[in-house]
Structure 1
Amino acid sequence: MNKKVLIIGTGLAGLSTALRLTTDGYEVEMVEKYHRPGGRLNLLEKDGFKFDMAPTFFSMSYEFKELADYCKIKMPFEFVELDPLYSVHFEGDDRSYLIHKNLKKLAEEFKKIEPDLEKKLERFLKSAGEIFHDTENIVIKQNFDSLLGYLLQLTRVPIKHAPKMFYSMWREMEKNFDSFEVKVIFSLVGFFLGATPFDTPAVYSMLNYTELVHDGYHNVKGGMYKIVEGLVKELEQRNVKMHYGVEIERFEKTNGQISAFYDQTGKKWAADLFVVNADAASFRGQILQRKKYAPKKLDQKKWTLAPLTIYLGLDTKVTNMYHHNYFLRRNFKEYAGKIFKNTIKLDKPYYYVNIQSMHNPAYAPEGKESVFILCPVPDLRYKANWDDADEIADAIIADMGERTGFDFAGHTESRSVYSPKDWESAFNLYQGSGLGLAHDLNQVGGFRPSNKDEEYKNLYYAGASTVPGTGLPMTVISSRLVTQRILKDHGTLS
């Protein structure tokens, strides 16, 4: 007899979990607050332009292949490997730096400011690779039943890596490189985690290994939303029903288990098992009313930076830019130290620009361009009022035009700006945090909210704020870990 699973949220973790559970014989139904599936991996369509709303590239592509193999399907989308990976522009420089995977080409880019970079990188990446391979299966791809179990598991990690848990990524850069530019560029992976390299442990330098050596970065042919469309098409063939405009507000319990959730209209959503693909920390507080996750407790946790996103439809093609671009300044340490708590002006922020129609021409009408801009900003705890979002966007667009020599403002025919408040409203992101809980040592592994509920035996979690963490491949791994939990507790039904 089939067991029914209700999945709350249709982000990548939710869709991947649904695909795995249907493979294992479970009946799955999904509910979603937004008007289309995908969560933050979503699509904006406006004025004839298309935009990937948030993620624009990913690493560890083999995790998607594992998902397809597990579910016995062909890959429902096609990878496009990036090389060069991205371009970096420093304020005041006449040139930009292209980050190549080939270390000889990369060293050539920096030969005037960082002598012997190839040798330095080989040494640095060897160490980063050892951390990655020594922790991937022991820590990253594991469920933990208790904090003690997690700590015992850590004892299996070679002791030589222990010091890097206790000093910052920036210090690791200072130990390996000399020039300001190189140290900044290779610490950008800290920002990928929604934090800064000054408060991200040095162990996360393993991400430099994944970008330059292990798997690189990838986009998807036809746009990132093809990931969602491909998974949804497969789920539709498996008779998985998805309901949109559904916001869960309360629950019902019977004999120590969840029997149903209720949405904003009072409609009852019953099932045998439940998987929450919303924030695993804030859901416990806001819906389950757990004291441990009350607003005051949640606000004391470390959350990732919030997104301010800008979507421009241009009436012409952009010249002299790469697909993926970072625009940085020289006050890196000051900016990183002040941006979280909104103690620095946002008139000259750091930001990332993706010329999306360079990868995917169908994203813009012929002869035109789709441009996505992401500026990491303080979350709503530190900046609650975003009436100045358009003003900040104006400053970013003007700065980008000045530094590239291209008149973005003058060629704009479509423009949308999403503030942290908009992101919070659309996707229930706690305080507008872009990637959920940060990756401090006291918020990773066994310290992170578990993917199995502490009280209700039929309630589970998947997504960025549970194990193993943030990022597209991490949420795919999350779907595998929560599925393992469910199969252990309830068995395979197929």
Structure 2
Amino acid sequence: MKKKVLIIGTGLAGLSTALRLSTDGYEVEMIEKYHRPGGRLNLLEKNGFKFDMAPTFFSMSYEFKELAEYCRMPMPFEFVELDPLYAVHFEGDSRSYLIYKNLKKLAAEFQSVEPDMERKVARFLKAAGEIFHDTENIVIKQNFDSLFSYLLQLTRVPIKHGPKMFYSMWREMEKNFDSFEVKVIFSLVGFFLGATPFDTPAVYSMLNYTELVHDGYHNVKGGMYKIVEGMVAELDKRGVKMHFGVEVDRFEKNHSGISAFVDKTGKRWDADLFVVNADAASFRGQVMGRPKFSPEKLDSKKWTLAPLTIYLGLDTKVKNMYHHNYFLRRNFKEYAHKIFKNSIKLDKPYYYVNIQSMHNPDYAPEGKESVFILCPVPDLRYKSDWSDAEEIADAIVKDMGERTGFDFAAHTETRIVYHPKHWESMFNLYRGSGLGLAHDLNQVGGFRPANKDEEFNNLYYTGASTIPGTGLPMTVISSRLVTERIHKDHGHLSKK
């Protein structure tokens, strides 16, 4: 008889795990709080406009290829490489900087502020690449049975990388570059992790290598939600059932482990095995009732910044902007140190803008444009009142117009604003944190919430707040690691 797996949550990690386990002969059923699958990798539609709700690009495309090969299926979506990767606009600077993978073109962009840029970048990326390749299979793609096994595994990493675990990404930039602009731009990957370069270890400079050398960034033909649609179509072929509007709040157990989860209507969802694609830390506290993950314990952890997202439907096309854009200011250190705890005004924030219909024309009616804006903001621990969200959005849209010479406000015919309370409510994001637990030394690898439950042998976790961490490719790797766990404990049900 087939063993049945219930997956709680249909984010990318949950969908990937469902594909792997259904390939391996398990019967899979999925439940989801939101009204459609995808988690944060979702789609918003209004008045003929479409918007990617959160992720707008990804790296490490080979992880998706590995998933497709494992599951013996064609790639469920088509991706396109970005080059240039993105544009960066600094306050008070009339020009923008395009970030190219080609180092000669990249150096030419910065020749006026960073002499000898090509040599410096080549040296920096060589060191970053060594970190990536020396840790990818030793740390990133490994399960750990205990904290000791994690620390033991770290001893296999060449000792030369050790110091970079103990100083910041910003210091690494200062060691390699002179100009403010280059140091800020190359440290943006810290913000991709939902943190800042001042509290992100220097080892994460390996992400600069993944973006500029190893694989680059990719967008999806037809929009990011095509990832979800393609995976769901394949799961449908395999008979995997999905149920929406379902939120679990308690569990039942028997002598062999968890017997069922119970949703807020009282309906039981039983299975042989359970995989949780909700936040691995907050679920343990809020549903499993673990003292180690009580509200006080959770609040003492480091969480990633929360999202304030703005979706604009414009009545005309935008000119003189690239697909992906960062709008930054000159108070970088002050802003980074103060934004987490809401100790700086949000009237002039840093933000990211994606002109979504530029690469995917069907995201907007003909002659119009769909625009996505993301502003990382304090989570609900530090800013619980978001009655000013529309005012902050007004300021961002106005600032963007002044800095680009295009009046976004005047051309807006559709606008939606989601603040951290919305994100917390829609996807059970703890305190509205956008990417789950942060990635400081005390919350990575064996220090991160494990992907196997501490008490029950048939309960597992996958997603951003367990190993290996946050980001689309990381959650695909997470699905592989949890599948390996299940195979180790319960075996393959079909021959590969």
Deviations, residues 369-424 of structure 1 (Å, cap 9, x unaligned): 00000000000000001000000000000000000000000000000000000000
Q: Secondary structure at the match of 1:325?
A: strand
Q: Secondary structure at the match of 1:38?
A: coil
- Give the residue type in structure 2 aligned to 1:219: N
Deviation at 1:491, TM superposition (A): 0.6
- Give the residue type in structure 2 aligned to 1:229: E
Q: Secondary structure at the match of 1:396?
A: helix
The answer for the alignment partner of 2:259 in structure 1 is 259
Q: Secondary structure at the match of 1:372?
A: strand
The answer for the alignment partner of 1:213 in structure 2 is 213
- Give the residue type in structure 2 aligned to 1:37: P
The answer for the alignment partner of 1:359 in structure 2 is 359
Return the alpha-carbon distance in structure 2 between the equivalents of residues 272 and 419 of structure 1.
38
* Aligned 8 A contact 1:40 1:427 in 2: yes
Return the alpha-carbon distance in structure 2 between the equivalents of residues 112 and 342 of structure 1.
35
Q: Secondary structure at the match of 2:354?
A: strand
Deviations, residues 282-314 of structure 1 (Å, cap 9, x unaligned): 000000000000000000000000000000000
Are 1:407 and 2:407 matched, yes or no?
A: yes
The answer for the alignment partner of 1:138 in structure 2 is 138
* Aligned 8 A contact 1:110 1:117 in 2: yes
TM-score by length of 1: 1.00
Return the alpha-carbon distance in structure 2 between the equivalents of residues 94 and 389 of structure 1.
28
The answer for the alignment partner of 2:481 in structure 1 is 481
Return the alpha-carbon distance in structure 1 between the equivalents of residues 359 and 133 of structure 2.
31
Return the alpha-carbon distance in structure 1 between the equivalents of residues 176 and 63 of structure 2.
30
The answer for the alignment partner of 2:268 in structure 1 is 268
Deviations, residues 44-103 of structure 1 (Å, cap 9, x unaligned): 000100000000001000000000000000001001100000000000001000000000
The answer for the alignment partner of 1:422 in structure 2 is 422
The answer for the alignment partner of 2:305 in structure 1 is 305
The answer for the alignment partner of 1:107 in structure 2 is 107
Return the alpha-carbon distance in structure 1 between the equivalents of residues 265 and 361 of structure 2.
41
Q: Secondary structure at the match of 2:281?
A: helix
Q: Which runs of 4+ in 1 moved over 2 A?
A: none
Q: How does 1:31-46 map to 2 (within 5 A)?
A: 31-46=31-46
Are 1:350 and 2:358 matched, yes or no?
A: no
* Aligned 8 A contact 1:59 1:216 in 2: yes
Q: How does 1:284-295 map to 2 (within 5 A)?
A: 284-295=284-295
The answer for the alignment partner of 2:82 in structure 1 is 82
Return the alpha-carbon distance in structure 2 between the equivalents of residues 490 and 201 of structure 1.
37
Q: How does 1:233-244 map to 2 (within 5 A)?
A: 233-244=233-244
* Aligned 8 A contact 1:220 1:226 in 2: yes
Deviation at 1:256, TM superposition (A): 4.7
The answer for the alignment partner of 2:388 in structure 1 is 388
Return the alpha-carbon distance in structure 1 between the equivalents of residues 423 and 317 of structure 2.
29
The answer for the alignment partner of 1:397 in structure 2 is 397
Deviation at 1:359, TM superposition (A): 1.0
Q: Secondary structure at the match of 1:280?
A: coil
Return the alpha-carbon distance in structure 2 between the equivalents of residues 140 and 212 of structure 1.
19
Q: Secondary structure at the match of 1:161?
A: helix
Are 1:231 and 2:235 matched, yes or no?
A: no
Q: How does 1:111-260 map to 2 (within 5 A)?
A: 111-260=111-260
Q: Secondary structure at the match of 2:14?
A: helix
Deviation at 1:457, TM superposition (A): 0.4
- Give the residue type in structure 1 aligned to 2:70: Y
Return the alpha-carbon distance in structure 1 between the equivalents of residues 483 and 289 of structure 2.
25
Return the alpha-carbon distance in structure 1 between the equivalents of residues 117 and 61 of structure 2.
27
* Aligned 8 A contact 1:310 1:393 in 2: yes
Are 1:73 and 2:77 matched, yes or no?
A: no
Return the alpha-carbon distance in structure 2 between the equivalents of residues 249 and 288 of structure 1.
9
TM-score by length of 2: 0.99
- Give the residue type in structure 2 aligned to 1:249: D
Deviation at 1:223, TM superposition (A): 0.2
Deviation at 1:332, TM superposition (A): 0.1
Return the alpha-carbon distance in structure 2 between the equivalents of residues 42 and 58 of structure 1.
14
Return the alpha-carbon distance in structure 2 between the equivalents of residues 392 and 149 of structure 1.
46
The answer for the alignment partner of 1:463 in structure 2 is 463
Q: Secondary structure at the match of 1:57?
A: coil
- Give the residue type in structure 2 aligned to 1:49: F
Query: Percent sequence identity over matched residues?
Result: 85
Return the alpha-carbon distance in structure 2 between the equivalents of residues 427 and 359 of structure 1.
27
Q: Secondary structure at the match of 1:228?
A: helix
- Give the residue type in structure 2 aligned to 1:336: A
Return the alpha-carbon distance in structure 2 between the equivalents of residues 133 and 113 of structure 1.
31
- Give the residue type in structure 2 aligned to 1:137: N
Return the alpha-carbon distance in structure 2 between the equivalents of residues 459 and 440 of structure 1.
26
* Aligned 8 A contact 1:195 1:438 in 2: yes
Return the alpha-carbon distance in structure 2 between the equivalents of residues 126 and 101 of structure 1.
14
Deviations, residues 196-243 of structure 1 (Å, cap 9, x unaligned): 000000000000000000000000000000000000000000000000
The answer for the alignment partner of 2:334 in structure 1 is 334
Aligned-pair Cα RMSD in Å: 0.3
Q: Secondary structure at the match of 1:18?
A: helix
The answer for the alignment partner of 2:277 in structure 1 is 277
The answer for the alignment partner of 2:9 in structure 1 is 9
Gaps of 5+ in 1: none
The answer for the alignment partner of 1:30 in structure 2 is 30
Deviation at 1:116, TM superposition (A): 0.5
* Aligned 8 A contact 1:435 1:464 in 2: yes
The answer for the alignment partner of 2:374 in structure 1 is 374
Return the alpha-carbon distance in structure 2 between the equivalents of residues 75 and 339 of structure 1.
39
* Aligned 8 A contact 1:256 1:455 in 2: no
Return the alpha-carbon distance in structure 2 between the equivalents of residues 489 and 116 of structure 1.
54
Deviations, residues 427-457 of structure 1 (Å, cap 9, x unaligned): 0000000000000101000000000000000
Q: Secondary structure at the match of 1:362?
A: helix
- Give the residue type in structure 2 aligned to 1:62: Y
